[in-house]
């Protein structure tokens, strides 16, 4: 776009600023009328799990054994309570739950009461009974490692019949001989996630606004400048909220980030315009405004465009949540650009310009300018290190990170894992093939017991539950063993017609999940002639979804790079400047690899989102500097001030994500902040150095 055209646009924006501002106000009121409070989705909704092989395996297992899901309860008896009192208490609890929840069954210590007749009759203390139970096959799986508590499992044949609030009310009641009951299930975790998302959106948005206010006031020392930026933020967030309502997009783990991200992005153009307005040499306000608009409108359009392109690449994902996130940000960024430049002339005209104070920004810029050559050479280390270190990174999902910190579910999960190796389970289904149906039951049973022993020999497996345990129980107690109820269904490890067998495996260490899974499938593959097998684990399900998401998002990075390259080429009309710009932005992108290696972070959906988000944002300052230095051929004192201010907004804005109770969100914020800081240094040192060195 030619200089004369920019002057005409700037002049019209300033001349008719009142009309443009009124137009923006009417648009804001119109969009605000669509805003509805968005619903919060369940954590796994919108991730396409319905077609995932692990999810399908879980449904298959449920169809054979009539168990769709389960809730685990940790029963902590009163230390001085008698066995009789505790057994009466858990019987009352069992009755309450099975009567109120249709299709529910229970696996509890009470169902093995025949084994403890003497302890019940003679009022033996419960701690003595628990020690005895820990040595009995099958029953020992219910006893905590420290033998002071035991597990109570509520099995559900359908999740539709389960009401968490009703369940919690039952569990909170007092029961004879029981001191405390702690519950854990995916229902509890989902409730914790929902509450945490609500908290995070409000807390992060509030803290970001407070930080922005402090940064703007520190930079410009003018209350009117602060009011202006807050109005721009409000004008930018209303279209985002209305977009959520118009497109019927709900809040989830991914889309929840859109509101804080838009808050952060909305301020950049406003700060640049303010910086140009304050530091202009013109005397008249209108002339200052026009000059600031001429300098910033074109590069701001391209920064918004490249950011929008990067987030639009999320539309390539097969996952609805990721696509929704991309749609919201990509549209919001462009709308925010238009609103900022239409409303700013009127708002800024009410601010009296004055000289900016000599504060930290000025000294920081001077320091970088003096040492830009040293920084430029030092930055070479990032792509070199990334080249060697990227092979050390691996795809992995920290399953525990999906449970919000500082919640009851987070604490309970740790306790259940510590005491019962709980929540670290893999369920196996073995179905007899047609050729195996002709074999005698003894031969089939022998092979099942062999598989059981082979699985138990894997180092990371804590316990294996199968018909082997039932067999061991019967051998120990003889005829009496046949009358012991293991659950409401006589044998939870073999279906009624004996065609299917179930194994429940508890792991010691979830970090070795993939390695253990490979060993398990290796064993099952050796028995494929007689058995068809299916494997299910929620951890494996999330891992698989995460890995697929991450790979598709890394493909989005390549898509974004291509289109950003084209945008730079159109903007600069120079291959030389385009390659220099992309080379400079290779530094923060390669720093992602270095940071993930240094802090032992795994590749997953988190790292993929960081890559795309950062790619969309790190080019912004590059575009402004290239425009001023290489296209307008101007020095950049006012631009440097604006770049430091906007970068500080980005850095501190994303640091606030560390206040979240979600570990992935914390890492997302902290890593992104580090990358934006590296980008700031690279743009103010390496970019000018290369532009001067390779000047025509």
262, 236 contact by CB (below 8 A):
yes
User: What does the radius of gyration of the chain's CA atoms come to, in whole angstroms?
Assistant: 31
Provide the pLDDT for residue 45.
Answer: 55
Regarding pTM above 0.95, the answer is no
pLDDT in tens, 384-438: 998 888 778 776 666 667 788 888 888 888 888 788 765 568 889 998 887 766 6
Q: Please tell me the distance from the alpha carbon of residue 215 to that of residue 230, in angstroms, as a whole number.
A: 12
Provide the pLDDT for residue 489.
Answer: 47
Provide the pLDDT for residue 519.
Answer: 93
182, 412 contact by CB (below 8 A):
yes
Long-range contacts of 139-146 (CB under 8 A, 24+ apart): 139/109, 139/112, 139/115, 139/473, 141/463, 141/465, 141/469, 142/107, 142/108, 142/109, 144/74, 144/419, 144/420, 145/418, 145/419, 145/420, 146/419
For the cut 80, the answer to whether the pLDDT of residue 159 exceeds it is no
Average pLDDT over residues 566-584: 87
Q: Would you give the DSSP letter of residue 283?
A: S
Helices (H) then strands (E): counts for the chain: 25, 8
Closest CA to 540 of 488, 579, 582, 505: 505
243, 311 contact by CB (below 8 A):
no
- 3 state DSSP class of 614: helix
Provide the pLDDT for residue 619.
Answer: 84
What residues does each domain of the chain span? 3-46+221-392+542-693, 68-189, 416-536
The better pLDDT of the pair 479, 255 is held by 255
Q: Please tell me the distance from the alpha carbon of residue 446 to that of residue 449, in angstroms, as a whole number.
A: 5
Please give the backbone phi and psi of residue 254, each rounded to the nearest 5 degrees, phi first.
Answer: -90, -55
The better pLDDT of the pair 232, 313 is held by 232
220, 641 contact by CB (below 8 A):
no
pLDDT in tens, 493-542: 888 778 889 898 888 777 788 889 999 999 999 998 889 999 988 778 87
Closest CA to 150 of 139, 159, 158, 161: 139
Q: Which CATH architecture has domain 416-536?
A: 2-Layer Sandwich (3.30)
Average pLDDT over residues 611-626: 81
Q: Would you give the DSSP letter of residue 181?
A: E
For the cut 90, the answer to whether the pLDDT of residue 77 exceeds it is yes
CB neighbour burial string for 378-390, b if at least 16 within 10 angstroms, e if fewer: ebeebbebbeeee
- 3 state DSSP class of 463: strand
Q: Please tell me the distance from the alpha carbon of residue 617 to that of residue 320, in angstroms, as a whole number.
A: 23
Within 379-407, residue ranges assigned H as helices are 381-389
Provide the pLDDT for residue 484.
Answer: 53
Q: Please give the sequence-ordered ranges of beta strands (E in DSSP) within 316-402, or none if there are none.
A: none
Q: Would you give the DSSP letter of residue 512?
A: G
Provide the pLDDT for residue 134.
Answer: 87
Q: Please tell me the distance from the alpha carbon of residue 591 to that of residue 228, in angstroms, as a whole number.
A: 35
Domain 68-189 shares a fold with domain 416-536 = yes
% of the chain with per-residue pLDDT over 70: 90
Q: Please tell me the distance from the alpha carbon of residue 653 to that of residue 204, in angstroms, as a whole number.
A: 9
- 3 state DSSP class of 74: strand
Q: Please tell me the distance from the alpha carbon of residue 437 to that of residue 473, in angstroms, as a whole number.
A: 26
Alpha carbon 507 to chain centroid distance? 24
Lowest-pLDDT range, 84-93, 292-301, 478-487?
A: 478-487
pLDDT in tens, 339-349: 999 999 999 99
SS3 per residue for 99-117: HHCCCEEEECHHHHHHHHH
Q: Which of 75-89, 353-367, 399-413, 495-509 has the highest mean pLDDT?
A: 75-89
Q: What is the mean pLDDT of the chain?
A: 83
Provide the pLDDT for residue 212.
Answer: 87
Total number of residues shown for the chain: 696
Q: Residue 293 — pLDDT band, cuts 50, 70, 90?
A: very high
Provide the pLDDT for residue 487.
Answer: 46
- 3 state DSSP class of 70: strand
pLDDT in tens, 372-381: 889 988 988 9
The better pLDDT of the pair 559, 44 is held by 559
Q: Which residues are 465's β-sheet partners? A: 504
Closest CA to 107 of 90, 82, 129: 90
Classify 68-189 by CATH class: alpha beta
132 contact partners, CB below 8 Å, separation of at least 6 = 116, 119
For the cut 50, the answer to whether the pLDDT of residue 488 exceeds it is no
Q: Please tell me the distance from the alpha carbon of residue 168 to that of residue 183, in angstroms, as a whole number.
A: 8
CB neighbour burial string for 331-349, b if at least 16 within 10 angstroms, e if fewer: bbbbbbbebbbbbbbbbbb
Cβ neighbours around 39 below 10 Å, total: 11
Q: Residue 479 — pLDDT band, cuts 50, 70, 90?
A: low
């Amino acid at each position: 776009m030619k200089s004369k055209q920019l002057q005409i646009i700037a002049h019209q924006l300033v001349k008719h600023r009142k009309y443009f501002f009124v137009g923006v106000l009417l648009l804001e009121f119109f969009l605000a009328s669509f805003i509805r409070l968005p619903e919060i989705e369940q954590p796994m909704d919108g991730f396409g799990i319905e077609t995932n092989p692990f999810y399908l395996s879980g449904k298959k297992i449920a169809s054979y054994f009539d168990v769709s899901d389960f809730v685990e309860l940790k029963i902590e008896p009163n230390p001085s309570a008698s066995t009789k009192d505790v057994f009466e208490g858990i019987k009352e609890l069992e009755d309450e739950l099975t009567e109120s929840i249709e299709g529910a069954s229970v696996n509890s210590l009470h169902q093995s009461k025949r084994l403890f007749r003497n302890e019940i009759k003679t009022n033996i203390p419960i701690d003595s009974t628990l020690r005895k139970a820990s040595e009995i096959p099958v029953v020992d799986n219910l006893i905590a490692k420290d033998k002071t508590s035991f597990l109570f499992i509520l099995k559900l044949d359908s999740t539709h019949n389960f009401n968490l609030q009703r369940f919690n009310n039952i569990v909170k009641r007092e029961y004879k001989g029981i001191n405390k009951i702690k519950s854990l299930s995916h229902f509890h975790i989902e409730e914790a996630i929902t509450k945490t998302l609500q908290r995070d959106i409000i807390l992060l948005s509030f803290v970001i606004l407070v930080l922005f206010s402090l940064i703007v006031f520190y930079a410009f020392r003018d209350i009117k400048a602060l009011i202006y930026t807050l109005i721009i933020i409000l004008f930018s967030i209303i279209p985002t909220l209305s977009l959520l309502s118009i497109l019927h997009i709900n809040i989830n783990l991914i889309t929840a980030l859109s509101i804080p991200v838009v808050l952060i992005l909305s301020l950049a153009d406003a700060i640049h315009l303010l910086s140009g307005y304050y530091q202009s040499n013109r005397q008249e306000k209108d002339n200052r405004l026009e000059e600031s608009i001429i300098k910033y409108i074109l590069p701001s359009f391209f920064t918004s465009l490249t950011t929008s392109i990067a987030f639009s690449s999320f539309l390539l994902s097969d996952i609805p949540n990721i696509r929704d996130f991309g749609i919201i940000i990509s549209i919001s960024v462009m709308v925010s650009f238009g609103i900022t430049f239409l409303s700013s002339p009127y708002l800024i005209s009410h601010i009296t310009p004055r000289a900016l104070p000599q504060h930290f920004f000025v000294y920081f810029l001077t320091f970088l300018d003096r040492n830009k050559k040293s920084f430029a050479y030092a930055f070479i280390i990032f792509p070199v290190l990334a080249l060697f270190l990227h092979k050390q990174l691996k795809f992995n999902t920290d399953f525990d990170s999906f449970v919000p910190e500082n919640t009851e579910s987070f604490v309970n999960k740790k306790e259940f894992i510590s005491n019962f190796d709980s929540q670290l389970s893999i369920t196996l289904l073995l179905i007899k093939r047609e050729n195996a149906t002709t074999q005698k039951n003894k031969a089939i049973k022998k092979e099942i017991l062999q598989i059981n022993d082979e699985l138990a020999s894997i180092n990371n497996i804590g316990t294996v539950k199968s018909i082997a345990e039932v067999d061991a129980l019967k051998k120990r107690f003889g005829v009496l063993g046949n009358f012991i109820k293991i659950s409401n269904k006589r044998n939870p490890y073999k279906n009624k017609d004996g065609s299917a067998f179930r194994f429940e495996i508890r792991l010691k260490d979830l970090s070795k999940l993939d390695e253990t899974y490979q060993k398990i499938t290796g064993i099952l593959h050796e028995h494929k002639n007689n058995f068809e097998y299916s494997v299910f684990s929620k951890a494996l399900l999330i891992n698989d979804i995460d890995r697929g998401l991450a790979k598709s998002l890394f493909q989005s990075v390549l898509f974004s790079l291509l289109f950003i390259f084209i945008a730079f080429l159109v903007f600069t009309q120079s291959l030389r400047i385009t390659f220099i710009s992309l080379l400079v932005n290779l530094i923060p992108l390669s720093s992602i690899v270095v940071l993930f290696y240094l802090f032992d972070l795994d590749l997953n959906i988190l790292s993929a989102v960081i890559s795309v988000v950062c790619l969309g944002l790190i080019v912004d300052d590059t575009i402004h500097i290239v425009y001023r230095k290489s296209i307008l051929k101007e020095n950049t004192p006012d631009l440097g001030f604006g770049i430091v201010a906007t970068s500080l907004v980005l850095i501190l804005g994303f640091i606030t994500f560390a206040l979240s109770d979600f570990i992935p969100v914390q890492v997302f914020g902290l890593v992104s902040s580090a990358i934006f800081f590296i980008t700031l240094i690279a743009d103010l040192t390496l970019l000018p150095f290369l532009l001067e060195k390779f000047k025509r």
